[in-house]
Structure 1
């Protein structure tokens, strides 16, 4: 067993490079790792894992490449090792906090499996979205028309502010919708506009929606008790999924004397918070992937497409750090009474779980963010 843990082959997090690697090629690899989940570049090891070694230290060279050929600059960790009399180096690249990164040749790379490649338009859009440089929810939706919006619902929304939308002229209505980002500069509905006020959001945005499933046991392979595909505007999605959860979660009770004692359980606001949080903060640029809500015998899982934005870590979530991947969606849902923008939602969930003697789990991968809420025995 090798105590130094030299990897045996390349993968999503490992890249081998010989001493002959060009500085520009090394910069490409470094940027790809920083734009993805981070990783390690092993210098002095050939592509197929043969140790060829280094004739000198390349630490200063690597630091210069990271400082001048990678934008923004990247800070790696360089470590020299001696194996069988040959010197190699482990260069650890952290997951970038200032994505997107690009090279001095103005190329954006990402890591896919054991290789790097130039980011596609959609992937680059996600990188900029993660950085907060652009917000996907205010982009106009292809093929969307004003007729795809429910004008009565928009009128109800404005009536909250004592504005009579229905009595406005057509140009006046367009102006009001443009000022609130329901439509964009080309008078087409925005993604936020369709998701909140659309007549049929899932027709134009098939990635929207919630897939709910209730399993008899603790594994996804167990018997399926209930299954629903929930579409429509986001407020309706949150309400219908909450109703499905309440219908499927059994609350136990005991009889003590003449009184019926309810078993410990979560208040509705806990489930509502998790569902609304998923609807508002998921990455809508990821096509073909809906929110998944799985109810097991021992837990509830809410799985949102896309990882957390750059500025947010799992550690920050439970103490109330707020973020707005989709700030226009956030604003609409807050105005409709579904969101508390002060960041108190997830801390409240954690506090309610603690009252029942359990802890909430937060898990992040390259493609999704998952919240696991243990269910109390009852």
Structure 2
């Protein structure tokens, strides 16, 4: 979340999907009533440090870290929020004020705070004490979210061995103090919402979401015999395929398999965001792949398809449609199809907030495929179409030294860095040299020079030299 993105939320005013809270030095007493209400209704934006009119007052900066830790800990504490739903506040600076922001998604479960169910309307949060209305909440969620289906006979032995250790490694890489890291396996799965109790029948067990995320191949095929993701390349042979991967395993590893397929078959042009190189391909397709896995309707027997053509990628998957027709990235209202799956992927760092996928694809596509426009069409089958650079369009002719120096001059970097890059190009246009030799010639740090040479190579200006470990100007 950025100041630019939060500004419209502050102007819009409080409503069914937006809540402001004073929070100068501590969490407001009723903050989790709003969290609970958002979870039970349609989700919403929570902003701490703004008054009731949306004016940014800010939180005490000395207390900001403490507020973030307390909020995350309480959201994951079943004595406070039942069942727990791990959420994190994100700092956003608006002018001189530091705000704390969280997007609270709609949940597939009914939640309570201190034993009380809260719902939300246009006037704010309200208690739900009538048993009939609570029953209606459960009925609405059970009809909308198949991921919460309970399988009471499943146990930990039905999950793929070693996969929870891999999950912990991914969590630790993203955040070393993640609250799930110290939990035993069963408690981690409960905190993630993967073990539930049906309040109407009393039935307990692991859910369909747990099977999808962590189940062994055998259990997955028993529970969902038609589950399959078909990844194809159809550039030359449109009747059959040029390459194919048939994916039938858990979603944690399916994500990695699909991203490896993307890396194998799609180009990744050089691109700088500020002075940092980012992978346009990964920025776009991590969103496409995550949305394919997280928002699919898994009780539908239709296999998901990820197809690479010469000029586009088309993805389609079974969908629980809430609207029909093309989505407008500028103004569509996102709806969580599988909130538990989405939250688990968010903790692994594989998705951001709800709706971010469409926005990020649209944002980075203009650099990846200038003039291209992605299409997102919601029907009973959700279809995503992403234009890609045509095969071979990224093969560049060998540059002249004059052109290469001009390319460096256009980079968004300091004058000193540009001057060093120019000197490196001039040296390597004469003869192949190792990074250590270039560093010695320039009297620069070897680590700095190695980073420079990798950047120049990524830009298509250098290539591997004829001497082992050397670089040379691209021929």
- Identify if the C-alpha distance between structure 1 residues 143 and 207 changes in structure 2 by more than 3 Å, giving closer, same or farther: farther
* Distance (Å, rounded) in 2 between the aligned partners of 1:165 and 1:358: 46
Match of 1:210 in 2: 229
Q: 1:298 to 1:269 in 2, by over 3 A?
A: same
| Cα deviation, residue 153, structure 1 | 3.6
What residue is the counterpart of 1:280 in the other structure?
A: 294
Tell me what 1:349 maps to. 361
Residue among 270, 281, 284 paired with 1:267 = 281
How many residues are paired up?
228
TM-score between the two structures when normalised by the length of structure 2: 0.43
Residue number in structure 2 paired with 1:249: 266
| Contact 1:178/1:187, CA 8 A, preserved across alignment | no
Q: Residue 192 of structure 1: SS of its match in structure 2?
A: helix
> Which position in structure 2 is the counterpart of 1:181?
193
**8 Å Cα contact 1:208-1:231 kept in structure 2:** yes
> Matched residues in 2 for 1:136 and 1:162: separation?
25
* CA 225–318 in structure 1, closer or farther in 2 if over 3 Å, else same: farther
Aligned residue for 2:459? none
Q: Secondary structure at the match of 2:264?
A: helix
How far apart are residue 279 of structure 1 and its match? 0.5
For 1:207 and 1:327, how far apart are their aligned partners in 2?
Answer: 22
1:104 corresponds to which residue?
Answer: none
Gaps of 5+ in 2: 1-138, 173-177, 198-202, 271-278, 394-475
Cα distance between partner residues in 1 of 2:180 and 2:339: 23
CA distance in 2, matches of 1:162, 1:235: 17
Q: Distance in 1 between matches of 2:329 and 2:354?
A: 12
Aligned CA-pair RMSD:
3.1
Q: Distance in 2 between matches of 1:162 and 1:183?
A: 15
> Counterpart of 1:359 in 2: which secondary structure?
coil
Alignment of 1:1-378 (within 5 A): 134-141=144-151, 144-150=154-160, 152-154=162-164, 156-157=167-168, 160-161=178-179, 163-166=181-184, 174=186, 177-185=189-197, 186-200=203-217, 202-203=220-221, 204-217=223-236, 220-221=238-239, 223-250=240-267, 266-286=280-300, 288-310=301-323, 314-319=326-331, 321-355=333-367, 356-365=370-379, 367-377=380-390, 378=393
- For residues 142 and 302 of structure 1, do their structure 2 counterparts lie closer, same or farther at Cα, with a shift above 3 Å needed? farther
Structure number with the bigger relative contact order (C-alpha 8 A, sep ≥ 6) is 1
Any conservation in 2 of the 1:202–1:209 contact (CA below 8 Å)? Answer: no
**Displacement, 1:132?**
8.2
Residue-by-residue CA offset, 1:98-131 (whole Å, 9 max, x unaligned) = xxxxxxxxxxxxxxxxxxxxxxxxxxxxxx88x8
* Paired residues of 1:139 and 1:184 also in contact (CA < 8 A): no
Mapped partners of 1:174, 1:187: distance in 2: 13
Distance in structure 1 (CA, Å) of the matches to 2:338 and 2:258: 21
TM-score, normalization by structure 1: 0.53
Q: Using a 3 Å threshold, how does the CA distance of structure 1 residues 162 and 371 change in structure 2: closer, same or farther?
A: closer
Task: Give me the whole-angstrom Cα distance separating, in 2, the residues matched to 1:250 and 1:348.
Answer: 18
For structure 1, the residue ranges without an aligned partner over 5 or more in a row are 1-127, 167-172, 254-264
Q: For residues 317 and 307 of structure 1, do their structure 2 counterparts lie closer, same or farther at Cα, with a shift above 3 Å needed?
A: farther
Higher helix share: 2
